[in-house]
Structure 1
Amino acid sequence: MDPSRHAQLVIAFANTLDVEDGTDALSEPAGLARWLREHELTPRTPAVTEADHDRGLRLRSGLREVLGTEEQRSHVLADADAVLLELPLLASLDPESPLQPDPHLPPTQRALATIASALATLLITGEVERVKRCPAEDCGWVFWDSTKNRSRRWCSMQVCGNRQKARTFAARNRP
């Protein structure tokens, strides 16, 4: 099973933060503007205010938190929920996008609401069970779990999974 376009959008937005490389594509308002345009969420590169930038970062943090496997931090989720209250979604009869951003929102907020809509769709359909964040502290990459029983834990068993196995082995065999 391949990821839906909603899952692809959520994964792409979550992975604008690369913990392992220490990079953040949204580190400044211009980065958010560029990313929204590159992902065709706005017809042209929008003017992103500091408030919009803050909304985007808070939304991403909440999104990454909800996709994590470890205990979720409630304050991060509450902060993202506060952002979602500013990004109203409207019900639609369109089966491809049953939740759509309020068309009266400014372009950047409408684009962020589109991301929120994609996440809501994943939560409603249960597809969110296949979108996971790697539990490795030095990774956190968000990936699509294509296993039949949705049991994949690591973004890469060869890298993150292997590192954890080595740590566990070393801890168990210390004198």
Structure 2
Amino acid sequence: MADDVISRYPDLPRPEAPQAIATVRDFVNTDDLETGIDLLVTAVGLSTYLRDEGLLAGTARASRRDLEQARELRAGLRAALVANHDGSGAPVEMLGPAVERLELRLTWGEDGPRLEPSRAGVAAALARIGIAAYEAARDGTWPRLKICSSDACEWAYFDHSKNQSRRWCEYGCGNRAKSRALRERRRAAL
């Protein structure tokens, strides 16, 4: 599902992450603060993104209401990832309402209980993103999904570090910050 993000940035390495994490990470990264590219500006952009990511099948098209819901979901998820980064916990006031609007149902099959979208189309695609967040929380990987510390970047990333202490994404932000700090210390020493 990360193919669209990678196709927009072909020179970037494709970071490994569990599928549920990749789904949420890539959705949050539809708003690239560094380049100013936001894939969710129009309903057509939302439909295209969801279709490219394999979350939306057929000819379903997003409405203005779907776009508002998607942007609310993305904002809630981003706020939760910032909270993961700074250790303050998921901000229920942001994520709660965004997730509560998703149309889900609980089913029970031979493999046990499962959350599924209760509708088709764009509503189902957005529900799949919410389900991915739920699966990441359930399997314990959710706290590893964070936002890069670089104010210029703020890219969502999966923290692979053993002690979950990484502060920057995979794309060199940490190196740039360390180089900048070194230059500043050298200038101050002169």
**For each residue in 1:72-103, what CA deviation from the matched residue of structure 2 results, as whole angstroms up to 9, or x when unmatched?**
7x9x853442232221322344669832222x
**For each residue in 1:44-87, what CA deviation from the matched residue of structure 2 results, as whole angstroms up to 9, or x when unmatched?**
24221111100000101111111112487x9x853442232221
| Aligned mates of 2:77, 2:112 — CA distance in 1 | 21
| Aligned mates of 1:35, 1:66 — CA distance in 2 | 22
Q: 1:93 to 1:149 in 2, by over 3 A?
A: farther
Contact 2:80 2:95 in 1 (8 A): no
Q: Which residue of 1 aligns with 2:79?
A: 65
Q: Which residue of 2 aligns with 1:101?
A: 117
Q: 1:153 to 1:45 in 2, by over 3 A?
A: farther
| Aligned mates of 2:98, 2:156 — CA distance in 1 | 21
The gaps in structure 2 that reach 5 residues or longer are 1-15
* Alpha-carbon offset, residue 106 of structure 1: 4.4
| Aligned mates of 1:67, 1:46 — CA distance in 2 | 29
| Aligned mates of 1:28, 1:174 — CA distance in 2 | 51
| Aligned mates of 2:174, 2:40 — CA distance in 1 | 28
Q: 1:8 to 1:166 in 2, by over 3 A?
A: same
Is the counterpart of residue 82 in structure 1 residue 119 in structure 2? no
The gaps in structure 1 that reach 5 residues or longer are none
> TM-score, length-normalised on structure 2?
0.76
Is the counterpart of residue 14 in structure 1 residue 21 in structure 2? no
> TM-score, length-normalised on structure 1?
0.81
Is the counterpart of residue 161 in structure 1 residue 161 in structure 2? no
| Aligned mates of 1:60, 1:78 — CA distance in 2 | 14
1:108 corresponds to which letter in structure 2? V
Report the RMSD for the aligned CA atoms in angstroms.
Answer: 2.9
| Aligned mates of 1:45, 1:28 — CA distance in 2 | 17
Contact 1:17 1:24 in 2 (8 A): yes
* Alpha-carbon offset, residue 146 of structure 1: 2.1
| Aligned mates of 1:46, 1:80 — CA distance in 2 | 26
Q: 1:32 to 1:117 in 2, by over 3 A?
A: same
Is the counterpart of residue 48 in structure 1 residue 62 in structure 2? yes
| Aligned mates of 1:45, 1:153 — CA distance in 2 | 40
Identity of aligned residues (%): 31
1:38 corresponds to which letter in structure 2? D
| Aligned mates of 1:117, 1:155 — CA distance in 2 | 24
| Aligned mates of 2:144, 2:48 — CA distance in 1 | 28
**For each residue in 1:9-39, what CA deviation from the matched residue of structure 2 results, as whole angstroms up to 9, or x when unmatched?**
1111111111111101111111100011111
Contact 1:70 1:135 in 2 (8 A): no
